[in-house]
């Protein structure tokens, strides 16, 4: 039994290290560029936002979008109010004279995927050729939209995944989330850098309208509440391999907030984990399973170490390699986000991350969760 556990642990550790080397290479393959010198544009863009009970901050997001340096005559803004119970719709409506269009969902029957319904309705009404999706609680600089469109017009991708990060952290817990979230954004960028698309974030996501319809939109993935980003990305990647870009550009970064408490954090991560069973590329699922198994065996070896010191030594080797290669992987990503100092938190985050990954693996795909005041799956 000891020999079998040792061999299995060694195999998982080697695969985990190889995966991190793959990610390090992929992130390096995506070159950091700037397109701020481009001032002439021809693409009609539709900015899409699905909003539910965002009265507290949606005016900030709308303000940032209206302040974009992109030509006004080439910009359309559609915000869908998803049955808000606060005055979100009234706030959106107050910007009508500045070109902000309000669409209100009025579904008589309960849905499991309100956000996909909202985005799909907005796309049906849109007049743009390039859809640019963000969230109602996000902030962005004035060159956000022009940097995305410049990449689109220069390189001709069918889809663009752009970076998202947390900001205005108010606690150590939120800073720890920023570190972990940077690692997740890096995974999406690294896979694209290696000519494979796996993950992205719907808070900063652009795609051609005709391609959205060509792949059937959200058909086939509309049984999950989440997945308007990653599952759509994978549908497009299957049809257009190599035509998806990751925009590693500081002007393109979108900023949002970490979760203020553990309960909301776990609900969010459970929602993200629920998408994994629908991934079209089963190699990505296999890699995710290997990642989970590696962390599971870390926990197993740590517990077995109380009975046999050999397993504790095995655990220490695993953990040392985990620390070392995750630091090598994370530093370039944090440098891009200008938050290199956060790497010091890895000594706190890494052991907690092991437990969190194992727990999410157990509950992520078989439990309902709360999202925007609804219980969905």
The per-residue DSSP string of 85-154 comes to SSSHHHHHHTTGGGTEEEEE---SS--S-HHHHHHHHHHHH---SEEEEEETT-EE-TTHHHHHHHHHHH
In angstroms, how far is the first alpha carbon of the chain from the final one?
39
Q: Is 42 exposed, middle or buried (0-12, 13-18, 19+ CB in 10 A)?
A: exposed
Q: What is the pLDDT of residue 319?
A: 93
Q: What is the pLDDT of residue 195?
A: 92
- Helix, strand, coil abundance in the chain, percent, nearest 5: 55, 15, 35
Task: Give the span between the Cα atoms of 178 and 165, in whole angstroms.
Answer: 7
Give residues with Cβ within 8 angstroms of 190, minimum separation 6: 22, 23, 24, 25, 26, 27, 29, 30
- Strand, coil or helix: 363: helix
Q: Is 171 exposed, middle or buried (0-12, 13-18, 19+ CB in 10 A)?
A: exposed
Task: Give the span between the Cα atoms of 215 and 221, in whole angstroms.
Answer: 11
- Kindly state the DSSP code that residue 67 receives in the 8-state scheme: T
Specify the length of the chain in residues.
377
E strand spans, 276-352: none
- Kindly state the DSSP code that residue 55 receives in the 8-state scheme: T
Q: What is the pLDDT of residue 372?
A: 60
pLDDT lower than 50: segments of the chain:
none
Radius of gyration of the chain (CA): 21
- Kindly state the DSSP code that residue 251 receives in the 8-state scheme: G
**Domain 33-261 in this protein, CATH class:** alpha beta
Q: What is the pLDDT of residue 60?
A: 98
φ, ψ of residue 306 to 5 degrees: the values are -70, -20
- Global pTM value: 0.91
Q: What is the pLDDT of residue 284?
A: 75
Q: What is the pLDDT of residue 123?
A: 97
> Angle at the Cα of 303 (from 298 to 308), degrees rounded to 5?
105
Q: What is the pLDDT of residue 34?
A: 74
* C-beta separation of 203 from 373 below 8 A: no
Helix (H) or strand (E) holding 178: helix 172-193
Residue extents of the structural domains in the chain: 2-26+282-371, 33-261
Instruction: Identify the CA nearest to 154 among candidates 27, 73, 40, 32.
Output: 40
- Strand, coil or helix: 280: coil
According to DSSP, the β-strands at 369-371 and 139-140 are: unpaired
Give residues with Cβ within 8 angstroms of 273, minimum separation 6: 360, 361, 363, 364, 365
Instruction: Identify the CA nearest to 41 among candidates 132, 140, 166, 112.
Output: 132
Q: What is the pLDDT of residue 300?
A: 92
φ, ψ of residue 228 to 5 degrees: the values are -70, -10
């Amino acid at each position: 039994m000891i020999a079998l556990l040792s061999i299995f642990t060694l195999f998982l550790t080697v695969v985990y290290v190889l995966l991190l080397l793959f990610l390090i290479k992929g992130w390096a393959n995506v070159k950091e560029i700037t397109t701020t010198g481009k001032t002439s544009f021809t693409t009609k863009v539709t900015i899409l936002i699905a909003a539910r009970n965002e009265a507290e901050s949606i005016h900030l997001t709308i303000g940032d979008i209206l302040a974009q340096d992109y030509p006004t005559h080439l910009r359309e803004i559609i915000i869908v109010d998803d049955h808000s119970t606060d005055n979100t719709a009234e706030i959106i409506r107050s910007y009508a004279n500045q070109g902000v269009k309000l669409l209100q969902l009025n579904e008589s029957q309960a849905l499991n995927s309100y956000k996909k319904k909202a985005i799909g309705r907005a796309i049906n009404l849109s007049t743009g050729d390039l859809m640019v999706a963000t969230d109602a609680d996000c902030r962005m600089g004035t060159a956000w939209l022009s940097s995305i469109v410049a990449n689109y017009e220069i390189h001709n991708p069918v889809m663009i995944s752009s970076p998202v990060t947390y900001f205005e952290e108010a606690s150590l817990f939120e800073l720890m989330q920023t570190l972990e979230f940077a690692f997740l954004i890096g995974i999406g960028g690294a896979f694209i850098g290696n000519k494979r698309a796996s993950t992205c974030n719907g808070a900063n996501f652009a795609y051609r309208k005709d391609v959205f319809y060509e792949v059937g939109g959200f058909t086939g993935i509309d049984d999950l509440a989440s997945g308007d980003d990653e599952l759509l990305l994978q549908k497009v990647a299957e049809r257009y391999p190599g035509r998806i870009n990751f925009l590693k550009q500081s002007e393109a970064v979108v900023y949002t907030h970490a979760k203020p408490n553990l309960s909301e954090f776990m609900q969010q991560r459970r929602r993200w984990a629920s998408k994994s069973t629908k991934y079209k590329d089963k190699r990505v699922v296999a890699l995710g399973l290997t990642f989970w198994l590696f962390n599971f065996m870390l926990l197993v070896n740590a517990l077995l170490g109380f009975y046999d010191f050999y397993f504790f030594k095995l655990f220490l080797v695993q953990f040392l390699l985990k620390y070392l290669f995750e630091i090598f992987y994370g530093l370039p990503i944090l440098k891009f986000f200008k938050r290199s100092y956060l790497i010091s938190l890895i000594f706190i985050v890494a052991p907690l991350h092991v437990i969190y990954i194992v727990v999410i693996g157990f509950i992520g795909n078989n439990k309902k969760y709360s999202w925007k005041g609804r219980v969905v799956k």
